[in-house]
Chain A
Amino acid sequence: MADNHFISFIKKVVPRLLVIAVVLYGFNRIYTEYVWSSDLKKHGTMLDELHAIQDTSDMLYFAESSNFTIGPNDTAKLRISDYIDLSFPSRRIGVINHGAYHAQLFLPLIEQIDTSSSVKTIIVTLNMRTFNQDVIYGEDEAGLQMTARLYQPQPPLLNRLFVSLNHYDNKDAHARDILLWKAWTTDTLKSTVDSITFDPNTIRRWCETTKFPDSNGVENMKLRVLADQSIKAYAFQIDESNPMVQAFDEMVAVAGQKNINLVFNLLAENVEDAQQYVGSNLVWLMRQNRDFLVNRYTERGVLVVDNMELLGSLHFLDRAVFPTEHYDEAGRKAIGQNVANSLKKIIEPK
């Protein structure tokens, strides 16, 4: 009797579910054709950009604001990607460029590069600060993760529905701030060499104990803030559990599947100021993280261009406020040329 009920139930439900599945398939076609583009214009312009340039580019340069931020005194308003372009006059370099983007946003875009397109090489900025807690738990992340959801290589209607259902890391700013303070309080720094010891060994304690009193005992707040910002930016240790590492790992796998050359542009960081305001322990961490990234991805067949210590402090535009990867004209030019020189090892300039 119960079996009869069940079979009768299934007989009624299954055909209806099939109808709904067919309807959804049709809706996806309609949505992709007529609505998707306008949704992308509102919530994620870079996928449209990618579609527009992938058939006319030999190389794609994926970057955040390091590429397009221009200093007030710069005479040549060229981007890093423009300097690379100058070294390859007969190659076409397309640029996917959006402020605050990082590996988790570049990955779904790279997944959507058509294998039949003309793209043979992609260059992705490897920005060390995007691996730190301040970015991972940053208040802008929910919006960026929403965009990343829209970029996923799945039926566009499904992506749209997932966005509406908040199916991405959508923790609000308050929840992220709790996690950030927890990480700064409990994540401990460990040295692997005798010459370096971390005491205090958390970001929070390190910031609290870094002081700049003058001869009268009055704190130099400007230096204190700069030291604080440097510690929060660089006092972390990258390992395999870092979400950005996972995204870069996947990127390597995707590029391999698509048979595309992958180049990581490890951006310049203000090592001089880190040394000046905080000291050699912080610089040791920066170099340890750099080594981790360079070794990891070189072993995986990626061309990693190490620019981390390429520039002196004066080339960093925001150095009076906090550490960023915003460079002056000479800085952008140096990085662009360094990347171009490395690229010449795998690409004929023609």
Chain B
Amino acid sequence: MLFNSVNFLIFLPIVLILYYALPNKYRWALLLGASYFFYGSWKIEFLTLIVFSTVVDFYVAQLISRTTHSSKRKLLLGLSLASNIGLLFIFKYLRLFIPAMDPMLVNIYTADHPILGLILQGVYFSIPVGISFYTFQTLSYTLDVYHNRIEPERHLGKFALFVTFFPQLVAGPIERFSSLMPQLQENHGLKYRNFQKAFRLMLYGFFIKMCIADNLSPLVDKVYADPSVFNGFSTWFGTFGFGLQIYADFAGYSLIAQGAALCLGINLIDNFKTPYFSTSISEFWSRWHISLSTWFRDYLYIPLGGNKVSLFRWVINILAVFIISGFWHGANYTFLIWGGIHGLLYLVERAIKPSKHLQKNLLRKLVGGILIFAAVNIAWLFFRIDNLTDLPGHYSALMNSVGSQTLTIETALVIILLIFLIFEILLYNSRFDRLMDKLPMLMRWIIYCGLIWCISAWAGVTNHPFIYFQF
């Protein structure tokens, strides 16, 4: 079920009514059932993968906590890592290492052998939605139990809810057990304030997903399909447009997820903080997909030694973390390069780190901001292209366009982009619900009405699921 669907707009109120009508001791069961329903509405068969991951990590964590034998604990941890990473490998990366198959042949095979065909579909074409997110969430749980940071959950059903909690199941934010589980157990009362904040977050989330991302998507698709036919402005607009599209798409999803969770009294972490106003790469990664970057920091970078190693090793660690985080996005070498570019930018930035005095300089910040915005958006090129052979053509079109076609950018989209820019400036180091708190009621309602108009009358019309679902 997509957030931007009529089904979800019916599903959420039903869940909320039942949730607040039930005593707290039964709520976990309701939310678990709702979460399985939410996920199963895509492909019910893929629920088996979540159940598999849940059961393995639940019992492995129990066994780890009960044993003090170091090698046995390591063996159990290895089992958890192998099963989770194994699932990821089979459904996300195996296609890199096996011969390509004609989609039609796989479809014919699926008609003959539904179960094996489904696996082939998953391996070749449609990755089980959210697999990278929930496997990372369960991995963090097992690692935390292994390192004695948390006590394991003793109730399989409640643990299953932690893995599948529907607002953040398919595209994050990737939550930690220590943050989410206590909230899932807490008895939340019906609070108007939570609903007010949730409404604001979801409204802005729907606005940026449906109006910014979904309107930019067809324009970006056209340019990336054949940049050579477009004139210079259109090629640059389409290329940089992808940067805006992916941000609006993913940040919009995260805001709706936060809003949906907040209706249930549960706070999810902020996943984005106006990342395009970053003045350095390190700042960008503290503002972009925060739940993933902190995951890699805590479960990969620090275990590799963090910055408490030799310079050479540190450089290797940084590059490894960025490249692996790039590869997390999908089975394509382009993602590796995208991660590698960010790693190199980070290293260059650290090498030429200016003095603290200069860091506060307004001009330096401005120049830094423009350079980072440009660098990040150019790097998105590697993220968006299907394969490296597309790169020279796209680069050539950017630098020396000879095409004559012009993208048609409608007035409504220009207005929407301006509204978005104004909000992004106002939301620097803030969040939409907090920003609204500072405004008088009349102003708030003018903004609400404006956003409702944009969503209902000017949202994109073509079918675009969330980009991060494919990861």
List residues of chain A with CB under 8 Å of any chain B CB. 2, 5-6, 8-9, 12-13, 19-20, 23-24, 27, 31, 35, 43, 142, 146, 157, 160-167, 170, 172, 174, 177-178, 180-182, 184-186, 204
Bound CA–CA A43/B448 (angstroms): 27
Q: Which residue of B lies closest to A172 (CB)?
A: B463
Q: Which residue of B lies closest to A186 (CB)?
A: B111
User: Across the interface, do A9 and B192 meet the contact criterion of CB distance under 8 Å?
Assistant: yes
B431: min CB distance to chain A, Å:
20
User: Across the interface, do A161 and B5 meet the contact criterion of CB distance under 8 Å?
Assistant: no
User: Across the interface, do B4 and A166 meet the contact criterion of CB distance under 8 Å?
Assistant: yes
**CB within 8 Å of A: which B82-127 residues:** 103-104, 107-108, 110-112, 121, 125-126
User: Across the interface, do A181 and B190 meet the contact criterion of CB distance under 8 Å?
Assistant: no
Interface residues on B, range: 20 to 34
User: Across the interface, do B112 and A167 meet the contact criterion of CB distance under 8 Å?
Assistant: no
A182-B111, A186-B111 in contact; A164/B192 too (CB < 8 A)? no
A13-B192, A24-B452 given; 17 more Cβ-contact pairs under 8 Å? A6-B190, A9-B195, A13-B195, A19-B445, A27-B453, A142-B463, A160-B459, A160-B461, A161-B456, A162-B6, A164-B214, A164-B456, A172-B463, A174-B103, A174-B125, A181-B110, A182-B110
User: Across the interface, do B107 and A181 meet the contact criterion of CB distance under 8 Å?
Assistant: yes
The yes or no answer to B205 lying at the interface (CB within 8 A) is no
Q: Can you list 16 contacts pairing A with B, beta carbon distance less than 8 Å?
A: A9-B190, A23-B449, A31-B456, A165-B4, A166-B4, A166-B463, A167-B5, A167-B6, A170-B463, A177-B103, A177-B107, A178-B110, A180-B107, A181-B108, A185-B108, A185-B111
A176: min CB distance to chain B, Å:
10
Q: Which residue of A lies closest to B195 (CB)?
A: A13
Which residues from chain B contact A43 at a C-beta distance below 8 Å? 461
Bound CA–CA A146/B460 (angstroms): 12
The 3 lowest CB-CB distance pairs between A and B, nearest first, are A164-B459, A185-B111, A181-B111
Q: Which residue of A lies closest to B8 (CB)?
A: A165
Bound CA–CA A185/B448 (angstroms): 51
Bound CA–CA A184/B110 (angstroms): 12
A164-B214, A165-B4, A177-B103 in contact; A27/B457 too (CB < 8 A)? yes
Bound CA–CA A172/B470 (angstroms): 14
Which residues from chain B contact A19 at a C-beta distance below 8 Å? 445
The yes or no answer to B219 lying at the interface (CB within 8 A) is no
Q: Which residue of A lies closest to B126 (CB)?
A: A174
A150: min CB distance to chain B, Å:
9
List residues of chain B with CB under 8 Å of any chain A CB. 2, 4-6, 9, 103-104, 107-108, 110-112, 121, 125-126, 189-192, 195, 210, 214, 445, 448-449, 452-453, 455-457, 459-461, 463
Which residues from chain B contact A23 at a C-beta distance below 8 Å? 449, 452
Which residues from chain B contact A170 at a C-beta distance below 8 Å? 463
Which residues from chain B contact A31 at a C-beta distance below 8 Å? 456-457
Q: Which residue of A lies closest to B462 (CB)?
A: A146
User: Across the interface, do A27 and B456 meet the contact criterion of CB distance under 8 Å?
Assistant: yes
User: Across the interface, do A20 and B125 meet the contact criterion of CB distance under 8 Å?
Assistant: no
B125: min CB distance to chain A, Å:
6
Bound CA–CA A26/B467 (angstroms): 34
Bound CA–CA A181/B103 (angstroms): 11
User: Across the interface, do B192 and A8 meet the contact criterion of CB distance under 8 Å?
Assistant: yes
Interface centre among A23, A43, A146 (most CB of B within 10 A): A23
User: Across the interface, do A177 and B4 meet the contact criterion of CB distance under 8 Å?
Assistant: no
Interface centre among B110, B449, B456 (most CB of A within 10 A): B456
A151: min CB distance to chain B, Å:
14
User: Across the interface, do B456 and A157 meet the contact criterion of CB distance under 8 Å?
Assistant: yes
B6 touches which one: A35, A146, A165 (CB < 8 A)? A165
B130: min CB distance to chain A, Å:
18
A24-B452, A178-B110 in contact; A164/B195 too (CB < 8 A)? no
Which residues from chain A contact B449 at a C-beta distance below 8 Å? 23
Q: Which residue of B lies closest to A35 (CB)?
A: B457
User: Across the interface, do B461 and A163 meet the contact criterion of CB distance under 8 Å?
Assistant: yes
A169: min CB distance to chain B, Å:
11
Interface centre among B6, B448, B461 (most CB of A within 10 A): B461
Which residues from chain A contact B452 at a C-beta distance below 8 Å? 20, 23-24, 27
